[in-house]
Structure 1
Amino acid sequence: MQFGIFSVGDVTLDPTNGRMPTEAERIKAIVQIARHAEEVGLDVFATGEHHNPPFYPSSPTTLLGYIGAQTERLILSTTTTLITTNDPVKIAEDFAMLQHLVDGRTDLVLGRGNTAPVYPWFGKNPHDALELTIENYALLRRLWDEDVVDWSGKFRTPLHNFTATPRPLDGVAPFVWHGSIRTPQIAELAAYYGDGFFANNIFWPKEHYIRLINLYRERYEHYGHGKAHQAIVGLGGQFFMRRNSQDAVREFRPYFDNAPVYGHGPSLEDFTSQTPLTVGSPAEFVEKTLAFRDYFGDYQRQLFLVDHAGLPLKTVLDQLDLLGEVLPELKAGFEAGRPADVPEGPTHAALLERKASPEPAEAQAPAEAHAEAEAAK
């Protein structure tokens, strides 16, 4: 089981003092946060991708490469790499380059994003989002898996005798998760390829994500990649902890009430009762997090959002210290009773081992998979 943190990269006013950090301060802060994540024993750091204010992470691989040079063990990932508006050639080359620089400590979450205006900024139509996702990912896989690619499609110019460089490290492409908060077709796509499915369940009730994850698990087995309980699942979550739960609620409330992602909606109490957000003591956080397995089954990766809503850097680092303290208890809790045939979280070493002893699997043609994805609507 892998534990880590992710950042959406917001630049948000601190409601307790009225101070707005600069983009430079937030960018420098996230590097320090990532380094501290490794220091407290976490396994993964992930960043979002945005191309509009109030967010800064427009170039995830640049940020991850810089962090990679200052860490030794941390897996460096994304929470959304925009498969719809990024050129698959650029994704293939950027992440292969990152692979080499950090000795394989990288993977990525592909998604469509949730900002419709980004599509025309990059010459795309938001109405084509699902078709772009399917076509672009099919090309991305070929660019990583084949040394020479001839390709033509609907949404970009053809490729003739093309080789993406550098080639993936050790001939093994980075592990891919497909991220979605509402779209069954993405769960279907992840299952078809035998990739991971990342459900960033930070805003909606668990019942919504249970349906998506169960669909992915069922289709993963359908496509012959393994049993449903062996499918590769990742979850999002968030917390704010203090030693005393009342102190946590009192301190976090102004951030919750005013942050663009939370404010002016449900109350803090309603939100914590309906979503994975924990605001309370370390013991309350551990209890609620361990319950995720009851809802979603055994899974491989748990990421938490901690540096959002205008929280100052010192507070975020304090949160990481508390997470580090309870991390052994979380790991032990998730390991207890875990079936031996449930895979561990993906790593470059594990992918190399799998490449050395592949298991044959029958899969449908992409057109058939797309038809089944449409039927899953």
Structure 2
Amino acid sequence: MSGMQFGIFTVGDLTPDPVSGKTPTEHERIAATVRIAEKCDEVGLDVFATGEHHNPPFVPSSPTTLLGFIAARTKNLLLSTSTTLITTNDPVKIAEDFSVLQHLCEGRVDIMLGRGNTGPVYPWFGKDIRAAVQLTVENYELLRALWDEEVVDWQGKYRTPLQGFTLAPAPMDGVPPYVWHASIRTPEIAELAAYYGDGFFANHIFWPSEHTERMVGLYRKRFAHYGHGTPEQAIVGIGGQVFIRPNSQDAIKEFRPYFDNAPVYGHGPSLEEFMAQTPLTVGSPQEVIDRTLGFRGYVGNYQRQLFLVDHAGLPVETVLEQIELLGTEVVPVLRKEFAIGRPADVPDAPTHKSLVAKKEMVDAEFAAAAAEGAEGDA
């Protein structure tokens, strides 16, 4: 094992299929998302992550509900979010929802926090988009207090104070879900992740490598600045975007109409231009392997690689074929290759089990120090 996690992240878009002309219903898209997660578990991927959106044409407005259902249908899959909106969700509700989910799935959950990129969502939840970064910082400060302190007394600028509040249920084993801070373009989020010693997930899929290199480099530098370890020990995740067929020419031919009509980048650069400028890889399993291994050249050794495979109107059966190819032909090779030359001091991807072990070690050291102090006072 390379100490890395591989998986899928979805934005849950409802997009017309440009080939068949069919648009799935919301019900069909939600059911397809569950099938996608089950397939990830079946082929041995590590992570399934869902976005959070509150507007059409998206369906995942309640990530913990979705992940709770998926938890009951899977055995090993680590369940995550590709964005939980730290800006517009109440931190108390985030803490409660994820504590319950954590207990339901025996710790198979972590969380990726983000600001979101849909402006109207702020007033829908009574917030002001002009305070987006300030809301992120303040809400996360409260979320950490809710997870780390048994009784919380707290006062801030953007929400009513808390007095004598205790989170119920408490996090499983006294260890909250591992936190990633996800960002496409905001240096303040990399700074926030570094300050707390949390993970940083660079979305990566729409931007050139130079941008991702700068964002991850900033996070690593500031992680070390705050005393959490060396820059190389920072916890990094990145996104990728693939479409795979055994033959690269077949992959390009099949994917082109989906690319050309995709809501985010359709009717813009050509598929070839976009592949040259961003991590999008459309081709054979070997081409995906080679391109993905190249990411280490500019972000360093990292811990989590998630792929986007289910957007732009692709039919669910095609998506399941993509996951099959990832699980059988791509990821096994990536695990082996990423393990080669990986320094021993680079941390493995965090899991509930590893976080519990770390807590037990810290508690034991604290108890030993306390006992030694007591002996000295005697």
For normalisation by structure 2, the TM-score amounts to 0.94
Q: Any runs of at least 4 consecutive aligned residues in structure 1 with deviations exceeding 6 A, and if so which?
A: none
Q: 2:41 aligns with which of 24, 38, 41?
A: 38
Matched AA of 2:347: P
CA distance in 2, matches of 1:262, 1:318: 23
- 1:342 maps to amino acid: V
Counterpart of 1:192 in structure 2 is 195
Distance 1:220 1:104 in 2: 26
Within 1, Cα distance between the matches of 2:35 and 2:257? 24
**Correspondence for 2:32:** 29
Aligned to 2:251, what secondary structure does the other structure show? helix
Match of 2:184 among 178, 181, 185: 181
Alpha-carbon offset, residue 335 of structure 1:
0.5
| Aligned pairs (5 A) from 1:93-108 | 93-108=96-111
After superposition, what is the alpha-carbon deviation per residue over 1:91-121, rounded to whole angstroms, capped at 9, x for unaligned? 0000000000000000010000000110000
What is the CA-CA distance between 1:259 and the residue it aligns to? 1.1
- After superposition, residues 68-79 of structure 1 pair within 5 angstroms as 68-79=71-82
- The residue type paired with residue 295 of structure 1 is Y
* 3-state secondary structure, aligned to 1:76: strand
- Corresponding residue to 1:317 among 317, 320, 326: 320
The whole-number CA distance in structure 1 between the counterparts of 2:188 and 2:327 is 36
Secondary structure at 2:76's aligned position in 1? coil
Q: Which residue of the other structure, out of 214, 219, 239, is the alignment partner of 1:216? A: 219
- TM-superposed CA distance for 1:353, in Å, is 1.1
Q: Which residue in 1 is equivalent to 2:276? A: 273
Q: Which residue of 1 aligns with 2:255?
A: 252
**In 2, Cα distance between equivalents of 1:56 and 1:164:** 29
- AA at the equivalent of 1:336: I
Residue 73 of structure 2 aligns to a residue whose secondary structure is coil
Instruction: Tell me which residue corresponds to 1:327.
Output: 331
Rounded to whole Å, the distance in 1 between the matches of 2:249 and 2:347 is: 38
**2:305 aligns with one of 294, 302, 312:** 302
SS in 2 for 1:303: strand
SS in 2 for 1:261: coil
- 1:82 corresponding residue in structure 2: 85
Aligned-partner SS, 2:34: helix
Partner of 1:373: none
- The aligned residue for residue 369 of structure 1 is none
Aligned position for 1:351:
355
Larger Rg: 2
Look up the SS of the partner of 2:306 in the other structure: strand
The CA distance in 2 between the partners of 1:29 and 1:229, in whole Å, is 38
- Counting only pairs closer than 5 Å after superposition, residues 92-171 of structure 1 correspond to structure 2 as 92-171=95-174
Tell me how far 1:165 sits from its aligned partner.
1.0
**Once the two structures are superposed, what CA deviation does each residue of 1:1-47 show, in whole Å capped at 9, x if it has no partner?**
00000100000000001101000000001101100001111000000
Question: 1:265 offset after TM fit, Å?
Answer: 1.2
**2:292 — aligned with what?**
289
SS in 2 for 1:177: strand
**Residue 371 of structure 1: aligned partner:** none
Q: 1:300 Cα deviation (Å)?
A: 0.2
Structure 2 Cα separation of the partners of residues 319 and 260 of structure 1: 21
Q: Which secondary structure does the structure 2 equivalent of 1:4 belong to?
A: strand
- The amino acid of 2:341's aligned partner reads G
CA distance in 1, matches of 2:184, 2:159: 27
Structure 1 counterpart of 2:267, which letter? H
What's the counterpart of residue 374 of structure 1?
none
User: What code does the residue aligned with 1:346 have?
Assistant: P
Following TM superposition, by how much is the alpha carbon of 1:357 offset from its aligned partner in structure 2, in angstroms? Answer: 2.2
Between the aligned partners of 2:247 and 2:103, the Cα distance in structure 1 is: 44
Q: Aligned with 2:240: secondary structure?
A: coil
Q: Give the Cα separation in 1 of the matches to 2:361 and 2:225.
A: 21
Letter in 2 for 1:301: R
Offset from partner CA, 1:38-88 (integer Å, 9 cap, x none): 111100000000000000000000000000001111000001000000000
- Structure 1 unmatched ranges of 5 or more: 361-377
Which residue does the alignment assign to 1:57? 60
Instruction: Please list every run of 5 or more consecutive structure 2 residues that lacks an aligned counterpart in the other structure.
Output: 366-378
